[in-house]
Amino acid sequence: MSLTKCLLFALLAIVASASVSAERVRYDNYRMYKVNSENAKQLEVLKDLEGSSDSIMFMDGVHLVGADIQIVVAPHKVPDFLEILGKSEIKYELQSRDVQKSLDEIDEKVAIKGRATTAYNWAQYYELDDTYAWLQTLAQKNPGVVTLIEGGKTYQGRSILGVKITKGGETINGKAKPGIFLEAGIHAREWIAPAAATYIINQLLTSEVESIKELAENYTWYVLPHANPDGYVYTHTTDRMWRKTRTPYGSCFGADPNRNWGFHWNEVGASSSACSDTYAGPSAFSEIETLSLSKFIEGLKGKVQLYLSLHAYSQYLLYPYGHTADLPDNVADFEKVFDASIAAVNKRYGTKYTGGNIYDAIYPAAGASVDWAYGTQDVRMAFCYELRPSSTSYFTGFKLPAEQIVPASEELLDSIVAMATEVKSLGYFD
């Protein structure tokens, strides 16, 4: 999460410390349990257990009494784990006796074809270098329209590369165009997010659909498909389920880059344990990725009126805040935009999105990019999309089949068209 609905592996620190050339992580004979706390005392037991061992991996944040939590447990830790649950009378259900087998049963088509022989397309997922090469080609082929931008750097020295799109120039009738900022892939394993971001880039440049042409021509776009490049590379080379950055923290690696932004940092919905998938980091903006990206966005202050963050999964549309149940002062406008946007996402394929303010719609989660943009950068419209699928199963959630990239992206773009129209009608682009 991601603000994502974190149905995820909080990966083994020993394995996580491996270099990118290491063998792929496997979860043979690991078990998956679903647990549920019935009172505050049981919830505290689970909070203490989260991050206590790199062999007990929480796939959900431990936030609310009564909420289901999926946990993956290494074979040698199963007796200790069940003993803790038994002593605290915490109910549990075994969901998988062999996590690796369950993962292998999912058909995921991931093509990694050479750029020289295959044109960039949306029938497959791409590695980072493929997408970066494509972005560079776009800038070369579309001078004056596409400008390559570097939104920041990573711990391992990679660029956070994106494009600025100014179709028809940067002004309309002598006024600067309103700006729309879109970042994706801040959680590494959510592959559909960067794929959808590149689809949107392509449509803005090539579509003949009138509503999309207007979207391209009436706004200045800033699109960063990969806000966490190191993590994304790691999902290709070593562990498909990696979520965080790759910064070393003792024997563990990475912080959750969507809990690391400097707005009510680590107040709720994040962990202080470096082994946790929702580790907020040792301080706000401790991660080079979030610090450098925030500086880039700060340089655009006053130029961006709509901020979008793409995640997966669960089919939610979310708006501030994540750190509190208090609502934004312009919540009535957020609700209008929300209603128009989820109605539009439903029209093409009947896909149903739900959502609302982050804290109530999914769970408390402080330190997210959307909250920071809204709370510190005067971006009065900021939204997070949790894309397909709707499933709450870990095994299908992050592994969206490649044949769904196009439909998921089409309906997303339908929604963004409606969103921009509503935001404009409310005067936020004036």
121 pLDDT above the threshold of 50: yes
In angstroms, what CA-CA distances link 35 with 3, 10, 14, 108? 21, 16, 25, 28
Collapsing DSSP states into helix, strand and coil, what is residue 158?
coil
Under 8 Å between Cβ of 146 and 206? no
Least confident of 107-116, 161-170, 178-187: 107-116
Given this model, what pLDDT does residue 50 score?
86
- β-pairing verdict for 306-312 and 179-184: parallel
What is the C-alpha to C-alpha distance for residues 222 and 383, in angstroms, rounded to an integer?
A: 15
Fold of 128-426: Aminopeptidase (3.40.630)
Query: 31-110: CATH homologous superfamily?
Result: Metallocarboxypeptidase-like (3.30.70.340)
pLDDT above 70: percentage of residues in the chain:
91
Show the tokens assigned to 134: 């494509």
Clarify whether 289 is annotated catalytic: no
pLDDT: which is higher, 399 or 190: 190
Catalytic-labelled residue, pool 50, 386, 411, 422: 386
- pLDDT by residue (tens digit) across 344-362? 999 999 999 999 999 999 9
Q: Based on the number of CB atoms within 10 Å of its own CB, is 213 exposed (0-12), middle (13-18) or buried (19 or more)?
A: middle
306 pLDDT above the threshold of 80: yes
Given this model, what pLDDT does residue 13 score?
30
Under 8 Å between Cβ of 215 and 202? no
What is the C-alpha to C-alpha distance for residues 36 and 283, in angstroms, rounded to an integer?
A: 30
One-letter-per-residue 3-state SS of 217-270? HCCEEEEECCCCHHHHHHHHHCCCCCCCCCCEECCEECCCCCCCCCCCCCCCCC
Picking from 163, 207, 211, the residue whose alpha carbon sits closest to that of residue 184 is: 163
What is the C-alpha to C-alpha distance for residues 196 and 206, in angstroms, rounded to an integer?
A: 15
Show the tokens assigned to 96: 């998988």
Given this model, what pLDDT does residue 7 score?
31
What is the C-alpha to C-alpha distance for residues 287 and 233, in angstroms, rounded to an integer?
A: 17
One-letter-per-residue 3-state SS of 400-425? CCHHHHHHHHHHHHHHHHHHHHHHHH
Given this model, what pLDDT does residue 395 score?
64
How far, rounded to the nearest angstrom, does the alpha carbon of residue 348 sit from its chain's CA centroid?
A: 24
- pLDDT by residue (tens digit) across 208-261? 999 999 999 999 999 999 999 999 999 999 998 899 999 999 999 999 999 999
Under 8 Å between Cβ of 290 and 282? no
Collapsing DSSP states into helix, strand and coil, what is residue 91?
strand
Given this model, what pLDDT does residue 113 score?
43
- The full set of domain ranges for the chain reads 31-110, 128-426
Given this model, what pLDDT does residue 394 score?
66
- pLDDT by residue (tens digit) across 88-110? 999 999 999 998 888 777 644 44
Backbone CA torsion sign across 338, 340, 343, 347: negative
Q: Give mean pLDDT, residues 144-151.
A: 98
pTM of the model: 0.89
Query: ∠ CA 223-5-364 to the nearest 5 degrees?
Result: 100
142 pLDDT above the threshold of 90: yes
Confidence of residue 196 (pLDDT cuts 50, 70, 90): very high
Given this model, what pLDDT does residue 10 score?
31
Given this model, what pLDDT does residue 62 score?
84
Picking from 40, 88, 9, 65, the residue whose alpha carbon sits closest to that of residue 276 is: 9
Confidence of residue 111 (pLDDT cuts 50, 70, 90): very low
Least confident of 117-131, 273-287, 320-334: 117-131
